[in-house]
A and B are shown apart, each in its own frame.
Chain A
Amino acid sequence: MGNHYQNPYTGMKILILEDEDIIAKRLARLITEILDQPATISCVSYLDEALEQMSKNSIDLLFLDLNLNGENGFEILEQMAGESFQTIIVSANEDQAIHAFEYGVLDFVPKPFGRERLEKAIGKYLQPEQPGGQTKFLTIKKRGRIISIKLEDVLYIQGASTYSELHFKNGSKDLHSKSLSGLMKILPSSYQRIHKSHIVDMNSVKEIAVKTGGKYSLVLENDVRIPLGRSYYKAIKKKWFSE
């Protein structure tokens, strides 16, 4: 686990999509102060500029204003949520927070914000995976189209290099651009990493099965069996199976 702290953030690429000049400057200034490490921060005011930037260089973190020049912020969000990077919403309308979290954003920073609040949001990004999100939908790109799928339809998630493979309860599967560790940061707390390449919803786990040779696996609905990593066994047993 310690590996996660090994400076994978050097040269972190951050994009700020905000149409208010002063606020964009404020974000950039505070982020620089908070990060205390080299990072590339760019500010854009319009969606097309943002998309252009993203197509040129991949980014790690997006700060998104939901009320952008009269655009529908949620349409943009839906588009961004399926990407590999994490998104932090910065918005004046706090009542949009619940809805935004359902789309799988890392944090929702209400305006006006001070340094502390922004620090907390960036902290979420820097921290190791710690489920506790309120995501209800996952957005995937399929043949150029953006599709929202219900998280409750997902049985388990398997890591596949920098992206993930969603396995649905009906047996089908799809790819998601975020890595397992990226997803862990936005998934609700019932989701648990049980293996270096598997996440399951513990609500759908029936039991722990023990195989010969001290190998463990979790039995899910539909009798699907997922290997349970040895290093995860103790913690999971304590957290989910102790009376």
Chain B
Amino acid sequence: MNLIYTFLKIVAICTILFLIVSSIRQSGLSPHFINPEFTYARDIRFHMGDDRTWSNPNFDDTHWARQIKDSTGIFWVRVKVNIETPTLAIEGTAMQVEFLASYECFWDGVKMGANGIVGNNDEEEMAGNLFKVLAIPDSLAGAGQHTIAFRASNQNGQGKIRFWGMQIGAFDKITRSPLQFTVAVMIFSGIFLVIGIYYLFMFFIPYRKRAYLLFGCLNLTVFALIGMEYMKFYYHYPYSFHYQRLDIIEWISVVFFFLLISFYLANFNLPKKIWIWAYSVLFLVMLMISNIGEYLMGNIYTVNHDLALYILALLTFSISTLVVIRAIVFKNPGSHEALIGILPCFLIIFYYDLMLFLGFVNLVVFNLISLSHQLKIEKELQQASMLRSLRLESEMLRKNLQPHFIMNTLTSVMEWIEQDAKTSIKFIQALADEFKILNSISTEKLISLEQEIDLCRVHLKIMSYRKGISYNLEISDVPLEETIPPAIFHSLIENGISYSRPISNELTFHLSYQSDAGQRVYRFFNDQSVSHIESPEEGIGTKYIKSRLEESYGSRWSFSHGPKLSGWETIIRIPIQV
């Protein structure tokens, strides 16, 4: 099993390396989509206002601004491009523009097309798309310098003017390369979608584990994040939607940060106190660097949105890493894999975009390994505890079906039938009572003290008949409605009868109770008996009791016994009943 597990880990690492390498190669084909600042766009002229003659390539724009200044209204952008070698592609030339505005486009003075409708105000303007591909007639696309002029308006641009540039090339390549790039991204996002849905099913159907719900949501959030981030490549939305899209991405990111931290906190079962700390830190920092912070404290802490996200990401990964390191220290299963998942995230936040999503893939894959590892261990523990419960049940029944008990009892019955029929009836009645109680408690993990004491009394009655010794049980201050694992005191009585030697023909067991520091303390003592044999440290009875205590109370119990006065004392501590 371990071999397969190691093999899976290696496969996961190799897959991620392959994805990274292939993505870098893929992005090498069209680097401008990774970094949308084209060389073309650097040499631009900008001017607010409107004049049709500004489309003329010979217009002297030297007095125009070399940089775009944010404003609202109608404005012109002029760009000079140099085509060194015209494309020979049969389908012709195309220009792809990324411009957050509605515009008309003039190529050497000739109107080539429009994107939306330019307008003086909100109503007049119809928002153009962020992405636009314009075909350039072969007659205009010859070698040499060309002037491209945009008559544009940004009535829906929240006062911002963003001209990201354009790319000129063979029509086919211009239209297809964004989609080719998107393919790789979509494969990644498919992984997150499927895993997200799967873990939601895991949560709602078989396992009500918070960590599964959070992991499912985390994956769906990454899926949404990728979908929104790369939307511009497959959905050429109106530019007015761009700013809303950025807001949505920010909010999804914040949700992602909270989910990631919550997932680690839940998965490694951290105490509530640490949850509160982690949330408070994240929330406070978020508040400080947000608009609310600016409003409350002036703009000393405010940063731009990208930096804010960067700070929050760094903080999230740091908190997550601390949680994982704590899990490693506590030797929680799956903690090492979780660390391999989270560590690369620190590297990739320096490269936003594609690398970030590769980091997410790594994060998810290693947390999947971590979760499967945990599930395996959980299953094993569950199985072991089920087996133990079954074993304890059969042990308890066997104790009363073992030949020593049954055959001695039957021999006594034979004697009474022959010698004293009346006593035999009483004895058989007591025997029947003991079996009735045993039958009714055999499948229970906890029974009331009342039932336990009934069981003890009827057992003592049987043993008194058999041994010709008067066995008694005295109880003081024991709350009868509280529960304990079955046949605990019964086992102590069996041990007491076996290992003690009454001086007179009488032996009394004492059971007393007190609560102490949030624990229930039961003291079991048998008096005036000389233990003629050292009670074995781990006899069958003692082992049975300890297993029962562990079954019901985990590690929150203690069992101690030893000689006391002339008798034998056993002290059992278990948690107070809730």
Say yes or no: is B292 at the interface (Cβ < 8 Å to chain A). no
Whether A69 lies near B499 (C-beta < 8 A) is yes
Whether A110 lies near B407 (C-beta < 8 A) is yes
Task: Kindly identify, within residues 107 to 136 of chain A, every residue whose CB is under 8 Å from any CB belonging to chain B.
Answer: 110-114
Whether B415 lies near A111 (C-beta < 8 A) is no
Task: Kindly identify, within residues 161 to 202 of chain A, every residue whose CB is under 8 Å from any CB belonging to chain B.
Answer: none
B541 to chain A: closest CB distance in Å? 10
Chain A residues near B539: list those with CB within 8 A: 70
Whether B408 lies near A20 (C-beta < 8 A) is yes
Chain B residues near A67: list those with CB within 8 A: 404
Whether B404 lies near A23 (C-beta < 8 A) is no
B547 to chain A: closest CB distance in Å? 20
With A67-B404, A69-B499 as given contacts, are A21 and B466 in contact (CB-CB < 8 Å)? yes
Q: CB-nearest residue of chain A relative to B532?
A: A46
A94→B536 CA distance, assembly (Å): 24
Whether A92 lies near B404 (C-beta < 8 A) is yes
Q: CB-nearest residue of chain A relative to B415?
A: A26
With A21-B468, A92-B404 as given contacts, are A26 and B411 in contact (CB-CB < 8 Å)? yes
Whether A22 lies near B466 (C-beta < 8 A) is yes
Chain B residues near A113: list those with CB within 8 A: 411, 414
A112→B532 CA distance, assembly (Å): 27
Task: Kindly identify, within residues 439 to 478 of chain B, every residue whose CB is under 8 Å from any CB belonging to chain A.
Answer: 465-469
Chain B window 76-100, contacts with chain A (Cβ cutoff 8 Å), 1 for yes, 0 for no: 0000000000000000000000000
With A67-B404, A70-B499, A92-B404 as given contacts, are A112 and B468 in contact (CB-CB < 8 Å)? no
Chain A window 55-77, contacts with chain B (Cβ cutoff 8 Å), 1 for yes, 0 for no: 00000000000010111000000
A32→B210 CA distance, assembly (Å): 76
Q: CB-nearest residue of chain B relative to A47?
A: B532
With A46-B501, A69-B532, A71-B533 as given contacts, are A23 and B403 in contact (CB-CB < 8 Å)? no
A174 to chain B: closest CB distance in Å? 32
Say yes or no: is A215 at the interface (Cβ < 8 Å to chain B). no
Whether B467 lies near A112 (C-beta < 8 A) is no
A48→B404 CA distance, assembly (Å): 22
Chain B residues near A206: list those with CB within 8 A: none
Pick from A22, A29, A69, A110: contact of B465, CB under 8 Å:
A22
B505 to chain A: closest CB distance in Å? 9
Pick from B414, B499, B536: contact of A112, CB under 8 Å:
B414
Whether A69 lies near B403 (C-beta < 8 A) is no
Whether A20 lies near B501 (C-beta < 8 A) is no
Count class of interface residues, chain B: 20 to 34
Task: Kindly identify, within residues 355 to 414 of chain B, every residue whose CB is under 8 Å from any CB belonging to chain A.
Answer: 403-408, 410-414
Chain A residues near B158: list those with CB within 8 A: none
Chain B residues near A25: list those with CB within 8 A: 415
A126 to chain B: closest CB distance in Å? 23
Q: CB-nearest residue of chain A relative to B463?
A: A20
Whether A22 lies near B468 (C-beta < 8 A) is yes
Pick from B403, B416, B533: contact of A92, CB under 8 Å:
B403
Say yes or no: is A222 at the interface (Cβ < 8 Å to chain B). no
A197→B403 CA distance, assembly (Å): 43
Say yes or no: is A93 at the interface (Cβ < 8 Å to chain B). yes
The CB with the most chain A CB atoms within 10 A, among B407, B410, B469, B533, is that of: B407
Whether A92 lies near B415 (C-beta < 8 A) is no
Say yes or no: is A19 at the interface (Cβ < 8 Å to chain B). yes
Chain A residues near B536: list those with CB within 8 A: 70
A19→B413 CA distance, assembly (Å): 16
Whether B408 lies near A69 (C-beta < 8 A) is no
Task: Kindly identify, within residues 124 to 163 of chain A, every residue whose CB is under 8 Å from any CB belonging to chain B.
Answer: none
Whether B408 lies near A111 (C-beta < 8 A) is yes
Whether A114 lies near B403 (C-beta < 8 A) is no
Whether A70 lies near B498 (C-beta < 8 A) is yes
B355 to chain A: closest CB distance in Å? 72
A70→B536 CA distance, assembly (Å): 9
Chain B window 524-555, contacts with chain A (Cβ cutoff 8 Å), 1 for yes, 0 for no: 00000000110010010000000000000000
Chain B residues near A114: list those with CB within 8 A: 414
Chain B residues near A69: list those with CB within 8 A: 498-499, 501, 532-533
Chain A residues near B533: list those with CB within 8 A: 69-71
Chain B window 484-501, contacts with chain A (Cβ cutoff 8 Å), 1 for yes, 0 for no: 000000000000001101
Whether A112 lies near B465 (C-beta < 8 A) is no
Pick from A46, A71, A92: contact of B406, CB under 8 Å:
A92
Whether A23 lies near B412 (C-beta < 8 A) is yes
Chain A residues near B410: list those with CB within 8 A: 111-112
With A21-B468, A21-B469 as given contacts, are A112 and B407 in contact (CB-CB < 8 Å)? yes
Chain B residues near A110: list those with CB within 8 A: 407
With A69-B498, A111-B408, A111-B410 as given contacts, are A19 and B415 in contact (CB-CB < 8 Å)? no
Task: Kindly identify, within residues 404 to 431 of chain B, every residue whose CB is under 8 Å from any CB belonging to chain A.
Answer: 404-408, 410-416, 419
Q: CB-nearest residue of chain A relative to B406?
A: A92
B507 to chain A: closest CB distance in Å? 13
Chain B residues near A22: list those with CB within 8 A: 411-412, 415-416, 465-468
Pick from A21, A26, A93, A112: contact of B404, CB under 8 Å:
A93
Chain B residues near A112: list those with CB within 8 A: 407, 410-411, 413-414
A19→B533 CA distance, assembly (Å): 14
A230→B415 CA distance, assembly (Å): 50
B534 to chain A: closest CB distance in Å? 10
Chain A residues near B404: list those with CB within 8 A: 67, 92-93
Chain B residues near A111: list those with CB within 8 A: 403, 407-408, 410-411
Task: Kindly identify, within residues 13 to 40 of chain A, every residue whose CB is under 8 Å from any CB belonging to chain B.
Answer: 19-23, 25-26, 29
The CB with the most chain A CB atoms within 10 A, among B410, B411, B419, B468, is that of: B411
Whether B415 lies near A23 (C-beta < 8 A) is yes
Chain A residues near B411: list those with CB within 8 A: 20, 22-23, 26, 92, 111-113
A23→B533 CA distance, assembly (Å): 22
Chain A window 201-218, contacts with chain B (Cβ cutoff 8 Å), 1 for yes, 0 for no: 000000000000000000
A48→B532 CA distance, assembly (Å): 10
Q: CB-nearest residue of chain B relative to A65?
A: B408
Q: CB-nearest residue of chain A relative to B416?
A: A22
A69→B496 CA distance, assembly (Å): 10
Whether A21 lies near B408 (C-beta < 8 A) is no
A-B contact pairs, 16 of them (CB 8 A): A20-B411, A20-B467, A22-B468, A23-B411, A23-B415, A26-B411, A29-B415, A69-B499, A69-B533, A70-B533, A92-B403, A92-B406, A93-B404, A111-B403, A112-B407, A113-B411
Known: A20-B411, A69-B499, A93-B407. 17 other contacts (CB 8 A): A20-B466, A20-B467, A21-B466, A21-B468, A21-B469, A22-B411, A22-B416, A22-B467, A29-B419, A46-B532, A92-B403, A93-B404, A111-B410, A112-B407, A113-B411, A113-B414, A114-B414
| Closest 9 pairs between A and B when the two form their complex, measured CB to CB | A21-B468, A92-B407, A112-B411, A111-B407, A26-B415, A70-B498, A112-B410, A22-B412, A92-B403
Binding site for A on B (CB under 8 A): 403-408, 410-416, 419, 465-469, 498-499, 501, 532-533, 536, 539
